[in-house]
Amino acid sequence: MTDVFVVSELGTVFPDPFEKMMLDYLFTKWSISDPAKGSTQKDAAVNLRFKTGFPDFHKSYEVNTLEIRTDPVGDMELGQKHYSLLTYVDVNLRMKRLPRDLAVNPQMKAMKDEVLRIAGNYKTTVQDIVGIKNILWRGDEGVYTGPANFATSNWGWVVHLAFWYEMDARTI
């Protein structure tokens, strides 16, 4: 007999990668209109694209998710039958400044605030994502890299979020 670890509420592992679960959740809950989402995550008719992985710079605005790492909650030893875990997913926001000579483009702040609003309103009593007990904010920061002329026209922000969930050993 062997122990396998399953999500407590599901009785199996999560069906999708964490970065896809985060992206789907953000897309479903997105409510701002500047920039506005389309009818699908990669809707060609709008300037906002939702995608897992790294930005591809095909749209003026992008929301990208990337799984970073998993940590135990508290001190834990291998070999236990129950684990409480945090899996970190970075939400990378990118926008092309339109036009470049404006001092402030409000869309980046609006996108960051929208991600924080969505994460902060996660329903924990009736889980919005079955098996995810909460979405925790772990900070955020601006991304200022690349050559000066590129950095002045392309802005980035990373919101660090973590899924909190529990896994139990099941003997098969």
- Could you tell me the CATH number of the domain that includes residue 88? 3.30.2000.10
pTM: 0.88
Residue type, 80: Q
pLDDT for position 8: 86
pLDDT for position 91: 98
Overall number of domains in the chain: 1
pLDDT for position 135: 96
Q: Which residue range forms the structural domain that includes residue 21?
A: 3-171
Residue of 55, 60, 65, 66 lying closest to 35 (CA atoms): 60
Residue burial 43-66, b: 16+ Cβ < 10 Å; e: rest? eeebbbbbbbeebeeebbbbbbbb
Residue of 122, 123, 95 lying closest to 110 (CA atoms): 95
pLDDT for position 82: 86
Question: CA 6 to CA 13: how far, in whole Å?
Answer: 5
pLDDT for position 41: 92
Placement of tokens 């999708």 in the chain? 16
Question: CA 152 to CA 77: how far, in whole Å?
Answer: 47
Q: What is the mean pLDDT of each run of 10 residues along the chain (172 residues)?
A: 84 94 97 92 89 89 96 79 93 80 77 96 89 96 68 81 92 74
Report whether 32 contacts 93 (CB < 8 A): no
